[in-house]
Chain A
């Protein structure tokens, strides 16, 4: 049995914070620049692979990586057989229901039929179900703020960290549908067959994030606006 640990890291908004956290926790000394020409980098017993965030749960569930760092928002949409071990606190953002300024919805009146545009259909469905609302969901892959402006949908369910993008598109927040931040996830077999290494990783990351004050959602910076 190898003692090495294979770690999946999400490219994009969470990547640099993930690398910094691994360094601060003493897990692996890794410079984000090292991934410019290569997709996987080894530091001591740890091998790190950089990938699209939605691929992180796939690599971890299938056991190609023992553990991974990924936003909770990705896990909402892809419920998989992985363990979610630690809330890493960075990359904080919220899933909100937002509607155009001046619309009936913005005034708190839910019309009989509602169309919502979202990149998060699973989380949005769960949110509307919890309110007992039958809403037609339109799944989009790009900027959902566009949908109400062009008459495609009455409202959006989207991620926001600072609220700036919503304001810029004349959307107002109506309700919070969820809170996300980066999470440490682990493969179910790795937690058993490499339990010492995985548990040490979880403990080191947990110590580091609980020692530092939790960053406010607004401080996430390059996260979603």
Chain B
């Protein structure tokens, strides 16, 4: 068997290697996110890639479990590779951080894995970064998360982000007040969850839904817009829980305006999110360059109770790999700054090493040649420098020059 056919060269389907510019971009985006979280006072937390299946199940319920890599611990108990990290953060908050004074601002970044067939270009490993704001029940906390998610995307260089804000209670409350019998209600809810509006229409068709609710449920994908849609919807809904949700969203809009981001926010009353998990405002972030949300979040006041430490909570996750895709589609491949190659003639290894230390201290990335080379007559290649008897000669980005200070200035400029 030739090396080309060796089974040891295989890679599991749905996983990727990240090399060169792609690897740099992935790391830079992750760092931009975590730096932004830190700037907003969120403390970085590192949780394990493995959790007991029971812990995962307490948080996300049965549905997602089947999509996880599961395996057995030495004592026979079941473990899972995490498919998201909010549950891990909740576990930490309910245990080690019990008694900490609220609100808690926590953030994380790391890979998550899904054991699903790698069809249609779906990945099985993804880098996620996110924040959890725990212990505050008010809309100020929800607004902070939305504004922070938007700020993190902006810091990573993703422009034209659109934020869709909804409320987990709106559609269920509408279904409750529509006067549907339990069976019709669950059919409509299931159809909405599947995003199948044809089935929503069918289920409503044979039901006794009230006129206003029926109209709203059918108009669902168009129940989107600025602050004004709250008034439009309010004309049709005058009382009950749906009305209260509209008032909450109006208040949330006000706080988002304090953060100065209402220009990129759409209110989406028909937002279909996981109603069993979310309990308040929810949001998703989109870019025109990508067919998937870049991130999503919302209020989940019930999760901490599953770990025996009830507390209101809100948060969000950003999908680093999708953000990298959006950056690539928006701006195209950009050549990142390579390290400066530093050459030297025989006998100058000591001076060259000292010069490399000095350059690195000044912020210039330097790859020091492992062997001395040539004589002073050969031209210096682009992106390289040579230590010679007469001093330092260098050439980068089409410019050449001599001297350490000029080189530091040129490189610093190029990196910016």
Which residues in A have some Cβ–Cβ distance to B below 8 Å?
1-2, 58, 61-64, 72, 79-87, 183, 187-195, 199, 202
What string of 1s and 0s marks CB contacts (under 8 Å) between B219-257 and chain A? Answer: 001101000000000000000000000000000000000
CB pair B292–A83 under 8 Å, yes or no, is no
Known: A87-B198, A192-B268. A62 touches B120 (CB 8 A): yes
Alpha-carbon distance A58/B160, docked complex (angstroms): 25
Interface-side segment among B52-60, B283-291, B299-307: B283-291
Question: Are A1 and B288 in touch, CB under 8 angstroms?
Answer: yes
Contact indicator A195/B293 (Cβ below 8 Å) = no
B288 touches A62 (CB 8 A): no
Residues on A with C-beta less than 8 A from B293 are 188-189
Instruction: Tell me the interface secondary structure of chain A in the complex.
Output: mixed
Residues of A within 8 A of B286 (CB): 189, 192-193
Question: Is B199 at the interface (CB under 8 A from chain A)?
Answer: yes
Give Cα distance in the complex from A1 to B194, angstroms: 28
- Chain A neighbourhood of B198, CB < 8 A: 72, 84-87, 183
Q: Indicate whether B402 reaches chain A with its CB closer than 8 angstroms.
A: no
The interface residues of chain B lying within 8 Å CB-to-CB of A64 are 291
Name the residue on A nearest B191 (C-beta): A84
Interface size on B, residues (CB 8 A): 25
Decide: A189 and B195 in contact? CB cutoff 8 A.
Answer: no
Q: Which B residues lie within 8 Å of A191 (CB)? A: 221
Complex CA distance for A187 and B290, rounded to whole angstroms:
10
Answer whether A192 and B266 are a contact pair too, CB < 8 Å, given A83-B195, A86-B198, A87-B198: yes
Given that A192-B268, A199-B221 are contacting pairs, would A84 and B196 also be in contact in the complex, using a CB cutoff of 8 Å? yes
Question: Nearest chain B CB to A66's CB is how many angstroms away?
Answer: 8
Inter-chain contacts of B120 with A (CB < 8 A): 58, 61-62, 80
B162 part of interface (Cβ distance < 8 Å): yes
Q: Is the CB of A193 within 8 A of B287?
A: yes
- CB-CB under 8 A from B197, the residues of chain A are 83-86
Which DSSP category, helix, strand, loop or mixed, fits chain B's interface?
Answer: mixed
Quick one: closest A residue to B284, CB to CB? Answer: A192
Q: How far is the CA of A128 from the CA of B194 in the complex (A)?
A: 21
Q: Which B residue's beta carbon lies closest to that of A72?
A: B198
Q: In the assembled complex, which residues on chain A have CB atoms less than 8 Å from the CB atom of B201?
A: 87
Neighbouring B residues of A187 by C-beta, 8 Å? 291
Contact of B102 with A by CB under 8 A: no
B292 touches A188 (CB 8 A): yes
Whole-angstrom distance between the alpha carbons of A83 and B197 in the complex? 7
CB distance from B220 to the nearest CB of A (A): 10
> Which B residues lie within 8 Å of A190 (CB)?
291
Task: Identify which of B164, B221, B224, B287 contacts A83 (C-beta below 8 A).
Answer: B221
Which of A2, A183, A188, A195 is close to B291, meaning CB atoms less than 8 Å apart? Answer: A188
In Å, the complex CA distance between A189 and B224 comes to: 13
A84 touching B266 in the complex, CB below 8 Å, given contacts A1-B160, A188-B293 = no
Let me know if A193 and B221 touch, CB within 8 A.
no
Inter-chain contacts of A183 with B (CB < 8 A):
198
Contacts of B288 in A (CB 8 A): 1-2, 193-194
- Residues from 303 to 339 in B contacting A, C-beta threshold 8 Å: none
Bound Cα distance A63, B121 (Å): 11
Chain B residues near A85 (CB-CB < 8 A): 197-198, 221
Complex CA gap A84/B222 in Å reads 14
Report the bound CA distance from A190 to B292 in whole Å: 9
The interface residues of chain B lying within 8 Å CB-to-CB of A188 are 195, 291-293
In the complex, chain B residues whose CB is within 8 Å of the CB of A2 = 288
> A191 vs B164: C-alpha distance in the bound complex, in angstroms?
11
Given A61-B120, A83-B195, decide whether A189 and B292 contact each other with a Cβ distance below 8 A.
Answer: yes
Residue pairs across A and B with Cβ atoms less than 8 A apart, 23 shown, are: A62-B120, A63-B292, A64-B291, A83-B197, A84-B194, A84-B195, A84-B197, A84-B199, A85-B197, A85-B198, A86-B197, A188-B195, A188-B291, A189-B286, A189-B292, A192-B164, A192-B224, A192-B268, A193-B162, A193-B287, A195-B221, A195-B224, A199-B221
